[in-house]
Amino acid sequence: MELATAAPVLEASGLVKRFGEREALKDVSLSAGRGELVAVIGPNGAGKTTLLSILAGIQRADAGSVSKSRGEVGWVPQQPALYSKLTVQENLALFARLERVADPAAAVDRMLDLTGLRERSRDQLGVLSGGNRQRVNIAIGLLAEPEVLLLDEPSAALDPRQRERLWEFILRLAGEGTTVVFATHNIQEADRYASRVAVLADGELLFTGPPRELEQVVGTSGLEFEAAFVAFLHQQGH
């Protein structure tokens, strides 16, 4: 099954990933266009993180290919990948240098503005709240100004207020033309923020399209999106 868009900046086709006997991804193809917000949803063990890891280049697929039109692919892991003994500014500066950004100081400045953490820039990561750490985590994924941003469970472990601020931040990025592909357990978030959803279960891509289309497939347009999603999984035998 394929999720197609008009002008893909990221395209994966026929991805297969095996861990021993278990097939974590089964012939998954996916593409995303400029400025799109694509949510990858599915039950636990569906293969969401594996798919994002392959798109990010962290893992290699056993079969299939990934291509991107140009520019970098930013990746934001589920757990903040940061150094808790370094300050916000030092973390950003370190990764800016490692990313070989032309002007690291300017990039750090820009990210401090984007995350709204300028006042906390000299605080060590270890003393920040989970939400603020996640903002820095995302900012690091954006340092190289990637055309595509991959987010793995970006709002997990955040309180509602922090989640709201995080999504404002992500929507702003998408509004500026960044393609965002995110994996989430939170079906309501996918319904609320994603322009399209990709439903994965047991390594299979079962559906791709706008959330409303999923409701139509299930034939339960009067239900909440989460109920439609669960009904869809039941229909598909998962």
What six digits make up the tokens of 123? 């605080």
Comparing CB distances to other proteins, the nearer of 62 and 99 is 99
Q: Rule CB under 8 A: is residue 157 a binding residue for other proteins?
A: no
Helix and strand element counts for the chain (H, E): 8, 10
Q: Rule CB under 8 A: is residue 79 a binding residue for other proteins?
A: yes
- Which stretch, 1-9, 78-86, 176-184, 209-217, contacts other proteins (CB under 8 A)? 78-86
CA 178 to chain centre: 12
Between CA 176 and CA 170 the distance in angstroms is 10
Considering only 7, 22, 57, 234, the residue that binds other proteins (CB under 8 A) is: 57
What are 78-84's contacts with CB under 8 Å, separation 24+? 78/49, 78/152, 78/153, 78/154, 78/156, 80/125, 80/133, 80/134, 80/136, 80/137, 81/137, 81/140, 82/125, 82/133, 82/136, 82/137, 82/140, 83/125, 84/124, 84/125, 84/126
Q: Rule CB under 8 A: is residue 232 a binding residue for other proteins?
A: no
- Which stretch, 43-51, 72-80, 183-191, 221-229, contacts other proteins (CB under 8 A)? 72-80
187, 198, 194: which is closest to 224 by C-alpha? Answer: 187
Comparing CB distances to other proteins, the nearer of 82 and 199 is 82
Q: Rule CB under 8 A: is residue 56 a binding residue for other proteins?
A: yes
Taking the complex as a whole, how short is the minimal distance between the CB of residue 85 and other proteins, in angstroms? Answer: 4
Q: Rule CB under 8 A: is residue 207 a binding residue for other proteins?
A: no
Q: Rule CB under 8 A: is residue 156 a binding residue for other proteins?
A: no
Q: Rule CB under 8 A: is residue 210 a binding residue for other proteins?
A: no
Comparing CB distances to other proteins, the nearer of 131 and 209 is 131
Q: Rule CB under 8 A: is residue 75 a binding residue for other proteins?
A: yes
Comparing CB distances to other proteins, the nearer of 30 and 150 is 150
Identity of the residue numbered 164: E
Between CA 191 and CA 199 the distance in angstroms is 12
What six digits make up the tokens of 114? 């984007």
DSSP string, 15-31: EEEEETTEEEEEEEEEE
Between CA 178 and CA 181 the distance in angstroms is 10
Considering only 13, 69, 124, 195, the residue that binds other proteins (CB under 8 A) is: 124
Q: Rule CB under 8 A: is residue 90 a binding residue for other proteins?
A: yes
Q: Rule CB under 8 A: is residue 54 a binding residue for other proteins?
A: no
Binding site for other proteins (CB under 8 A): 53, 56-58, 75, 77, 79-86, 90, 94-95, 97-99, 124, 140
